[in-house]
Amino acid sequence: MIFTIAIDGPAAAGKGTLAKALAQHFGFAYLDTGLLYRATARKVLDGLDPVAAAKALSTHDFTRDGLRTAKVGQGASKIAAMPKVRAALIDFQQKFARQQGGAVLDGRDIGTVICPQAEIKLFVTASDEVRAARRFAEISQKNETATLALVLEDLRQRDQRDRDRATAPMIQAQNSILLDTSDLDASQALAKAIAIVAVHPGLLT
């Protein structure tokens, strides 16, 4: 069975948590595509050329320290606006999406560019304030200099860049379902997503 669940949306909307849980529920493979851009950005911060860094990604790059920092997130958003960087990463993502056994991918352009034929497309969002509060709760124990205002500013800057770029901008795919998680906790969001996926006839083939 080939079955792709594409999950797009802005930063810290809960896409990753939802995508991982959905993959586990249905026994599908899961890919956090933001990690590809973060791992590339990390190598660029080490001095590599962005396109060369994207082409040379290896599994070791995905387990490095610091991939989740705001600095690497901003770097990822910047190199993600470069068409040649995106081109270097597209083939791997498309093969992952159409593998046998089902796949869940989360990112910004999964339903629009990577896998327009995805059986299910979700656009997961939440208000800026809710997203910032969630991210702040996640990082404030580790990062003592973080403030809610700085986290909010960081998310807004990144979203604007990701939305305004010319290549593969973050937009809701026309045939995607909007899931606003502002008033939902992770298990409520998962229940809604499972209900959407479970009735798709493609699951039975």
- The smaller minimum CB distance to ligand DC, of residues 1 and 117, is found at 117
Contacting range for ligand DC; rule: CB under 6 A; set: 17-25, 30-38, 140-148, 186-194: 30-38
| CA–CA distance, 96 with 32 (Å, rounded to integer) | 11
- The smaller minimum CB distance to ligand DC, of residues 71 and 200, is found at 71
| Residue of the chain from 3, 21, 38, 50 that contacts ligand DC (CB under 6 A) | 38
Residue 205 C-beta: closest distance to ligand DC, Å: 27
The site that binds ligand DC (CB under 6 A) totals a number of residues, namely 14
Q: What token pair was written down for 59?
A: 């599994």
Q: Which amino acid belongs to residue 182? A: S
| Residue of the chain from 13, 22, 76, 97 that contacts ligand DC (CB under 6 A) | 76
Please, which residues have CB within 8 angstroms of residue 19's CB and are 6 or more apart in sequence?
Answer: 5, 7, 30, 32, 104, 105, 106
Residue 99 C-beta: closest distance to ligand DC, Å: 17
SS3 153: helix
- The smaller minimum CB distance to ligand DC, of residues 1 and 90, is found at 90
Strand order in the sheet with 29-32: 29-32, 103-107, 4-8, 120-125, 177-180
Residue 28 C-beta: closest distance to ligand DC, Å: 17
**What region, left, alpha or beta, does residue 53 occupy, with left being phi > 0 and alpha being psi -120 to 50 degrees?**
alpha
DSSP state, residue 159: H
Residue 29 C-beta: closest distance to ligand DC, Å: 16
Residue where the block lists tokens 């069975």:
1
- The smaller minimum CB distance to ligand DC, of residues 121 and 158, is found at 158
The residues with which 32 forms a beta bridge, in sequence order, are 106
| CA–CA distance, 69 with 52 (Å, rounded to integer) | 22
Residue 11 C-beta: closest distance to ligand DC, Å: 5
* E strands present in the chain: 4-8, 29-32, 103-107, 120-125, 177-180
- The smaller minimum CB distance to ligand DC, of residues 92 and 203, is found at 92
Residues 119-178 that bind ligand DC (CB under 6 A): 158, 162
In the complex, the residues that contact ligand DC under the rule CB under 6 A are 11, 33-34, 37-38, 73, 76-77, 80, 107-109, 158, 162
